[in-house]
Amino acid sequence: MSEKLQKVLARAGHGSRREMEAWIAAGRISIDGEIASLGDRVEDDVKIRIDGRAITVKSEDDLICRVIAYHKPEGEICSRKDPEGRPTVFDRLPKTRDSRWVAVGRLDINTSGLLLFTSDGELANRLMHPSNEVEREYAVRTFGEVSEACIQRLRTGVTLEDGPANFDKIKAAGGEGMNKWWHVSLAEGRNREVRRLWESQEVQVSRLIRIRYGMVELPKSLPRGGWVELELEQVNYLRKTAGLDNENRTMLGTDKHSVARAKVKSAKIKRAVSKHKTNVGKNTRQRT
C-alpha cells in the first residue's frame, strides 16, 4: 500500500512533513534513481536517496514505536555530530536496527535532565509542534535576590525579545541565602526560555534540570548518561498526546528472558555513564 513520500521520510526521522516537502521541492530526494516530485507516493520496495545517500525506510505496520528516557548530563550537545568534537546526546544511546533515534526537542549544553528519544519521527515531530503544548517541569537553582514581586511577574508574564512569556507554575524548593531552588513549569519550548525568564529579573540560573515532560518523569534511579526504555503505557500516553493511534507492540520483554535483558541493559547504562565520565575528563584536560 503506497504512502506519501514526505510521510515516509518524516516517520524515518529525517524531519517534519513540511521540511520533507521542502527537500522534495528542492530536488534533494530521488526514488529509484529519479528525482522525486511533490505528491509522489511510494511502496515499501523502492530505493530512496537523500542527497545521493541511500536511506532505510519502514512501513507504518513494520515500525514499532519505541521511546527511551535519557538523563542528559551538562556538557553534551543535542546534535548527531559536532565539528568541535564535543560529546553529543546520541553517543551512548542503544543501537537500533533499520531505524534511528529522534530527539523530542532539545536541551542546551548547560542544561541536564530528562530528554526523550523515539524511533518514530512522526511522533517526535508532533510532540514538538507548538500546538501540543506539552508541559515541561524544571528544577532551577538561582543565585540572587528573589522577591515576591519578582515571582508574581514571572507568573503573570514578562516581555522577552521574542514576545511575552511566563511560568505556568512556580514554587520554592529549598536552598539557603542567595542560592535557592525552584520548581517551574511551562508548556512552550522556546530557546533557553527558562533561563531568559529568570534573567529578565536579573537573577542568575546556576543549575537547570528538566525533571518532567508531560506525565513522564525523570527516573530518580537513572544516573547521568543513562537511559531506560519506556513501558507501552507511557508510549501510548505520548502517542495520544500527539494525536496518534496506540502502539500495541513493545521491545520490552515479559517472558523468562526479561530478567537477563534487564541485567544487560543495566550493564549498558553503567558503561555509558563510565564512558561519559571518561569523555568529560579528556575534554577537561584538553581545555587546561
What is the set of active-site residues? 108
∠ CA 174-179-181, rounded to 5°: 35
**Nearest one of 242, 170, 232 to 203, comparing CA atoms:** 170
- Compute, in degrees rounded to 10, the torsion defined by CA atoms 269, 273, 274, 278: 150
Please state, in angstroms and rounded to a whole number, the distance separating the CA atoms of residues 51 and 36. Answer: 12
Burial label, 64 (beta-carbon count in 10 A; 0-12, 13-18, 19+)? middle
Name the region of 247 (left: φ>0; alpha: ψ -120 to 50; beta: rest). Answer: beta
Please state, in angstroms and rounded to a whole number, the distance separating the CA atoms of residues 89 and 27. Answer: 31
